């Protein structure tokens, strides 16, 4: 993992130095750094690093805008955002752009190594504090892939506002079997067993189920 090429970007020199010093001490392969969004994107275009750790708010171009440009240009660099922001909309946007990591600044040095290990293995990483705050609306692809075809079919029907009774009728199974499937899906996705938690998740992640 530590040989993967990484670039970093932050418009606060001290924060950037602190992050770089920490990663270099841990023997990560930092191949470049930038102090604004334009320079960060130029570095990504030129060096094609495997991972880019970016501050979400920078002059000229934000971390999200860089991620969008990478996606549009088919650049495969995995983006990790470091941020102070906890708004749900930003996290949803991050997921749409296939951002691989979202780390809160207050926990950055504690979490960045775990994040980089996950990202290197192709697993997205979102700060646990984010998951707590947003009621666990995030799920990794491996969790989703652990669902059986029947469970995925049921999840799509839940997203379409079908009741247990309607799902049972459509799939020619018993009402009790639908309830058992729902319970299994909640466990596999690590959702809290609250009323409507599965419906909310299914609607917010409908695109992943297509």
CATH number at residue 37: 3.40.50.2300
Identify whether residues 97 and 153 lie together within a single domain: no
Please give the pLDDT value at position 148.
Answer: 87
Q: How far is CA 186 from CA 129, 160, 194, in A?
A: 20, 17, 10
- Tokens of residue 94, six digits: 């991050």
Residue-range definition of the domain harbouring residue 82? 5-133
β 51-55/5-9 pair status: parallel
Identify whether residues 154 and 123 lie together within a single domain: no
Identify whether residues 119 and 173 lie together within a single domain: no
pTM above 0.95, yes or no: no
Please give the pLDDT value at position 186.
Answer: 85
The list of the chain residues with pLDDT below 50 reads 1
Identify whether residues 69 and 106 lie together within a single domain: yes
- Tell me which of 101, 133, 165 is where a domain ends: 133
Please give the pLDDT value at position 110.
Answer: 84
Identify whether residues 128 and 24 lie together within a single domain: yes
Please give the pLDDT value at position 81.
Answer: 92
Closest alpha carbon to 139 in 196, 77, 198, 86: 198
**Residue 168, domain CATH:** 1.10.10.10
Identify whether residues 120 and 28 lie together within a single domain: yes
Chain segment 157-170, per-residue pLDDT in tens: 998 889 999 999 99
Chain segment 40-77, per-residue pLDDT in tens: 999 999 999 999 999 988 999 999 999 999 989 999 99
- Tell me which of 80, 115, 133 is where a domain ends: 133
Identify whether residues 129 and 150 lie together within a single domain: no
Identify whether residues 102 and 158 lie together within a single domain: no
Identify whether residues 82 and 171 lie together within a single domain: no
- Tell me which of 71, 98, 133 is where a domain ends: 133
Number of domains in the chain: 2
Identify whether residues 187 and 205 lie together within a single domain: yes
Are residues 125 and 115 in contact, defined by beta-carbon separation less than 8 angstroms? yes
């Amino acid at each position: 993992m530590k040989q993967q090429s990484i670039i970093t970007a932050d418009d606060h020199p001290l924060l950037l130095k602190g992050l770089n010093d920490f990663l270099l001490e841990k023997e990560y392969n930092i191949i470049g750094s930038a102090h604004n969004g334009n320079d960060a994107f130029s570095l990504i275009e030129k060096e094609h690093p495997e991972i880019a750790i970016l501050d979400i708010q920078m002059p000229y171009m934000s971390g999200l805008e860089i991620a969008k440009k990478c996606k549009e240009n088919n650049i495969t660099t995995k983006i990790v955002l470091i941020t102070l922001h906890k708004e749900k909309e930003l996290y949803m946007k991050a997921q749409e752009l296939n951002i691989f990591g979202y780390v809160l600044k207050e926990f950055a040095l504690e979490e960045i190594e775990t994040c980089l290990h996950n990202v290197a293995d192709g697993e997205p990483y979102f700060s646990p504090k984010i998951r707590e705050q947003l009621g666990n609306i995030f799920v990794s692809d491996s969790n989703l892939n652990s669902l059986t075809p029947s469970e995925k079919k049921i999840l799509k029907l839940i997203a379409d506002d079908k009741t247990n009774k309607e799902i049972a009728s459509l799939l020619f199974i018993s009402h009790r079997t639908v309830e058992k499937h729902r319970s299994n899906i909640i466990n596999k996705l690590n959702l809290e067993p609250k009323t409507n938690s599965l419906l909310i998740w299914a609607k917010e992640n409908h695109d992943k189920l297509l």
